[in-house]
Chains A and B, each alone.
Chain A
Amino acid sequence: MKLSLFKVAQGCRLGTLNNLGRKGDRTMEFPGCLLYTRTGSAPHLTHDTLRVISRVPVMTQLTLSSLAEHCEVLEEYKEGIGKFIGMPESMFYCSLHDPVNPCPAGYVTNKSVSVWGVGGRLEMTAAKFMSVQQALQPDWFQCLSDGEALCGEVFSTKRARKSVDRSLAFLDECLKLQEQSEVLRNCVMIGVIEGGDTLEERLRSARETAKRPVGGFLLDGFHGDAMTKETRLQLISSVTAELPEDKPRLICGIGQPDEVLECIEAGVDLFESFFPYQVTERGCALSFSFDYQPNPEDTVLQQNGEKEEGEIGDHIDKVTTTKRVPETSFEINLKEKKYCDDFGPVVEGCSCYCCKNHSRAYVHHLLVTNELLAGVLLMIHNFQHYFGFFYAIREALRKDRLGQLKKLVCRQAS
């Protein structure tokens, strides 16, 4: 793998990762995201429906938690996870946990980390962990790590220190095991930066992990609301400052558009795409604009449109309907009654399969009648919208317009 950095502007890195994949001939652009999957499949989508989406990431995220219990089957299958799940053309990054389903805390020891599959808890020692990776044969995988520094009732420096110590110990053990396996030597280990909300520990984790022969870095434990936004971004910046320029930086658990941009400014390269899935599950469609260079003629209409979105009537809808899941201001809730006879596309100007072929009224009907197709159509739209967002980020960076894009996105944040 070779990282080529085109430019760094206001902390944001724009570049490509080259010589990726089995044959060393694949390329991945960053900033970018990975395709989110659940048990090896994009949620709701078969190959045919995934295929109609534009700009699907070249690298797919698998979660160890959903696949570890199938280790025996994969060992017998022998041909690796890509072929098993019917995605032989994709590259794979295997994360430890699923960003959407947080697992119960308190199951990390000096010897093992537990993941939760459908069948229950699976204890991963370094040896077990590496044998699962051997069966999966991913291109990249997150090393076994202790991400629970901020999971207790009280955040202590002691616990932060432990998360770093344990993760480094796991890393060294896994690296040793990797060396002994011909199969695993072809996989890239991603080192995990831990340390909770303690600057000292975060720096130590970054420096120590960077000393090891890892292919990239995962910034773990920055999701959720354990830290304030300011603390999070300061820590991320401090961490990335310690990391080598020529290796990719991934972050987990961050998906909202405004937060993505902030993390890019703090030196992060790659993100997950679980956020569009969460939006889908609450019957919503991503609708935020990332078109910071609109047609001048449209600008007037858009401004008026934006005004309409903020009207009192809308707000009342949002307040009176009982919301059990947190909706963001980057999306519209197609279950709302007002969409029942709206025959326009889900998002005007969107060229996804859902918007080209179906109306808000139809998707509303599917949601109201609990039909499976609702999830399919929304997932298609939400993925395409999200991948389009990342494309816009790269384009904006290329043209030195990221500031404008950020302003536009943040204006739409609640």
Chain B
Amino acid sequence: MAAPRDSQSTRSPEPMAAVAASAAGAGTRAPAALALRVVAECGRSKARACELRLPHGTVATPVFMPVGTQGTMKGVTAAQLDSLGCTICLGNTYHLGMRPGPELIQKAGGLHGFMNWNQNLLTDSGGFQMVSLLALSEVTEEGVRFRSPYDGTEILLSPEKSVEIQNALGSDIMMQLDDVVSSTLTGSRVEEAMHRSIRWLDRCISANRRPDRQNLFAIIQGGLDPVLRSKCLEEMTKRDVPGFAIGGLSGGESKEQFWKMVTLSTDRLPREKPRYLMGVGYATDLVVCVALGCDMFDCVFPTRTARFGSALVPTGNLQLKKKQFAKDFRPIDEACTCPTCQRHTRAFLHALLHSNNTTALHHVTVHNIAYQLQLMDAIRTSIVEHRFPDFVRDFMKTMYGELRRCPAWAMEALESVGIPLN
């Protein structure tokens, strides 16, 4: 099933030669499977709008990538995801590696064939899930050792194994296996993890059997320590990888520490390669981190919160199950163009959310994905039209009522890149 049966995308993927040729033509020395073109840069902040060419089509950045953990975007079909304008989404190596397993997915024509998604896919390494989901996992130089929660067998996820699974999944972007430690951890373990991640990066690069079709991204670690993070940046940028992720953040750390590590990282990452900030998805965080120079984001939050009946809006969110919406005959958001807002009222969604018909969840999921994608689109347009700073101010005003109510960390971060909020 390598070839899609019914093409849901009107875009046909660029043949590899063309990607490489155009990359060469743009004057950047980029690997064949990825080419980044900077379309516009904000005059003040580090925000930029780019075109990211991948094996399964072009992605406009900044981009938010919805997370389809087990090879499905929850109750949303591939066709619906396509019509929402999604061009890249995530699958989880850990989950899919367990069920149904890489051999089966390979037989199905890779993850693209298995879920019949003909646009881009990004897979993570499995490392984060193992450390966060499993009570007993042990990290050694070899890899991460753990017990399968399904049948108790002992498994070792090494850099080589992770890449092997991701090669079978056939994702357009794959992540190195990194030694993940909690962002609130301090001390020598953080340093050890940073150095090990560099060594694991090299092992992952060697293990990639398909560098011409699958892009292996490095993940910058170093916790909240600027010295460690700088060291990691220095080392990892010496490697010829098509893109970099900023990892080890978006855990329990304070937002103050968070943004400082993000901006430090983007300062030292090459301009002409994409910067992927992992695990970030709250609207405010997205806007600020675009200003700090990030291009790609992923987060389970929008789709997860949807299944609890929480709809994302420019002023925050609406808990649609609450009584106050029972007779509210407006759509979730008057300005939203998603299918849910075009056809349904808050009142209907409220009623449906109190039934056991899963359709209610799908309506909100569709809207929340649309909200995220529309937000990124608006951000991008404002960068291209050289009015990103004004966009940021309008966004914050809408979200917080007035500019001075914007959280302190966000104000500082924006100020640091030339977008003062007052």
A positions within 8 Å CB-CB of B: 38-49, 52, 66, 70, 73, 76-77, 84-86, 118, 340-341, 343, 353, 356-359, 361-362, 365-366, 368-369, 371-373, 375-377
Using A340-B100, A359-B108 as known contacts, say yes or no to A353 and B79 having CB atoms under 8 A apart.
Answer: yes
Contact A46 B100 (CB under 8 A): no
Contact B72 A373 (CB under 8 A): yes
- Alpha-carbon distance between A341 and B8 when the two chains are bound, in angstroms: 24
- Alpha-carbon distance between A365 and B116 when the two chains are bound, in angstroms: 14
B322 at the interface (CB under 8 A from A): no
B346-363 toward A: CB 8 Å interface, digit per residue (1/0)?
A: 011001101111111111
**Apart from A353-B79, A375-B358, 14 more pairs, CB < 8 Å:** A46-B340, A46-B362, A48-B80, A70-B351, A73-B351, A76-B327, A86-B344, A343-B1, A357-B116, A368-B100, A372-B72, A372-B358, A373-B73, A373-B77
Residues on the B chain within 8 Å of A357, using CB:
5-6, 8, 78-79, 116
Residues on the B chain within 8 Å of A369, using CB:
70, 95, 99
B345 at the interface (CB under 8 A from A): yes
B74 at the interface (CB under 8 A from A): yes
Residues on the A chain within 8 Å of B40, using CB:
none
B107 at the interface (CB under 8 A from A): yes
Residues on the B chain within 8 Å of A365, using CB:
70-71, 99-100, 114
Selected from B80, B100, B357, the residue in CB contact (under 8 A) with A43 is B357
B322-333 toward A: CB 8 Å interface, digit per residue (1/0)?
A: 000011010000
- Alpha-carbon distance between A84 and B77 when the two chains are bound, in angstroms: 24
B403 at the interface (CB under 8 A from A): no
Residues on the B chain within 8 Å of A359, using CB:
1, 108, 114
Selected from B79, B99, B355, B366, the residue in CB contact (under 8 A) with A66 is B355
Q: Shortest distance in angstroms between B66's beta carbon and chain A's nearest beta carbon?
A: 14
Report how many A-B pairs have Cβ atoms within 8 Å. 124
Contact B104 A361 (CB under 8 A): yes
Contact A41 B99 (CB under 8 A): no
Contact B107 A343 (CB under 8 A): yes
Residues on the B chain within 8 Å of A42, using CB:
359
Residues on the A chain within 8 Å of B189, using CB:
none
Selected from B6, B74, B354, the residue in CB contact (under 8 A) with A372 is B74
Contact B355 A38 (CB under 8 A): yes
What are 5 A-B interface contacts by the 8 Å CB criterion? A43-B358, A44-B362, A369-B95, A372-B75, A373-B77
- Alpha-carbon distance between A366 and B68 when the two chains are bound, in angstroms: 12
Q: Which of B38-97 contact A (CB under 8 A)?
A: 70-80, 83, 95
A77, closest chain B residue (CB): B329
Residues on the A chain within 8 Å of B8, using CB:
357
B297-318 toward A: CB 8 Å interface, digit per residue (1/0)?
A: 0000000000000000000000
Q: Shortest distance in angstroms between A48's beta carbon and chain B's nearest beta carbon?
A: 6
B339 at the interface (CB under 8 A from A): yes
Using A40-B348, A47-B343, A84-B348 as known contacts, say yes or no to A373 and B75 having CB atoms under 8 A apart.
Answer: yes
Residues on the B chain within 8 Å of A46, using CB:
80, 339-340, 359, 362-363, 366
Contact B357 A41 (CB under 8 A): yes
Contact A86 B348 (CB under 8 A): yes
- Alpha-carbon distance between A373 and B339 when the two chains are bound, in angstroms: 18
Contact A343 B108 (CB under 8 A): yes
Residues on the A chain within 8 Å of B77, using CB:
49, 353, 373, 376-377
Chain B, interface residues (CB within 8 Å), range: 35 or more
Residues on the A chain within 8 Å of B359, using CB:
41-46
Selected from B5, B70, B107, the residue in CB contact (under 8 A) with A371 is B70
Q: Shortest distance in angstroms between B280's beta carbon and chain A's nearest beta carbon?
A: 25
Q: Shortest distance in angstroms between A54's beta carbon and chain B's nearest beta carbon?
A: 15
Contact A362 B327 (CB under 8 A): no
Q: Shortest distance in angstroms between A269's beta carbon and chain B's nearest beta carbon?
A: 28
B131 at the interface (CB under 8 A from A): no
Q: Shortest distance in angstroms between B326's beta carbon and chain A's nearest beta carbon?
A: 6
Q: Which of A40, A45, A86 has the most chain B CB within a 10 Å cutoff? A: A86
- Alpha-carbon distance between A85 and B357 when the two chains are bound, in angstroms: 13
Residues on the B chain within 8 Å of A86, using CB:
343-344, 348
Q: Which of B99-145 contact A (CB under 8 A)?
A: 99-100, 104, 107-108, 114-116
- Alpha-carbon distance between A77 and B326 when the two chains are bound, in angstroms: 11
Contact B99 A40 (CB under 8 A): no
Shortest 8 CB-CB distances between A and B: which pairs?
A39-B355, A372-B75, A86-B343, A373-B72, A38-B357, A41-B359, A369-B70, A86-B344
Contact A372 B362 (CB under 8 A): yes
Contact B72 A366 (CB under 8 A): yes
Residues on the B chain within 8 Å of A45, using CB:
359
Contact A340 B104 (CB under 8 A): yes
Selected from B115, B326, B329, B354, the residue in CB contact (under 8 A) with A362 is B115
- Alpha-carbon distance between A358 and B356 when the two chains are bound, in angstroms: 26
Contact B1 A371 (CB under 8 A): no
Selected from A66, A77, A356, A377, the residue in CB contact (under 8 A) with B347 is A77
Residues on the A chain within 8 Å of B340, using CB:
46
Selected from B6, B114, B345, B356, the residue in CB contact (under 8 A) with A356 is B6
- Alpha-carbon distance between A373 and B78 when the two chains are bound, in angstroms: 10
A364, closest chain B residue (CB): B100
Contact B79 A39 (CB under 8 A): no
Q: Shortest distance in angstroms between A271's beta carbon and chain B's nearest beta carbon?
A: 21
Selected from B95, B104, B108, B354, the residue in CB contact (under 8 A) with A118 is B354
Q: Shortest distance in angstroms between A6's beta carbon and chain B's nearest beta carbon?
A: 36
- Alpha-carbon distance between A358 and B76 when the two chains are bound, in angstroms: 14
Selected from B83, B100, B347, the residue in CB contact (under 8 A) with A84 is B347
- Alpha-carbon distance between A368 and B95 when the two chains are bound, in angstroms: 12
Contact A358 B358 (CB under 8 A): no
Residues on the A chain within 8 Å of B363, using CB:
46
Contact B326 A73 (CB under 8 A): yes
Residues on the A chain within 8 Å of B347, using CB:
73, 77, 84
- Alpha-carbon distance between A86 and B359 when the two chains are bound, in angstroms: 12
Contact B327 A44 (CB under 8 A): no
Q: Shortest distance in angstroms between A19's beta carbon and chain B's nearest beta carbon?
A: 28
Contact A371 B343 (CB under 8 A): no
Contact A373 B74 (CB under 8 A): yes
Q: Shortest distance in angstroms between A86's beta carbon and chain B's nearest beta carbon?
A: 4
A45, closest chain B residue (CB): B359
Residues on the B chain within 8 Å of A358, using CB:
116
B116, closest chain A residue (CB): A357
Residues on the A chain within 8 Å of B356, using CB:
38
Contact B104 A341 (CB under 8 A): yes
B326, closest chain A residue (CB): A73
- Alpha-carbon distance between A359 and B356 when the two chains are bound, in angstroms: 27
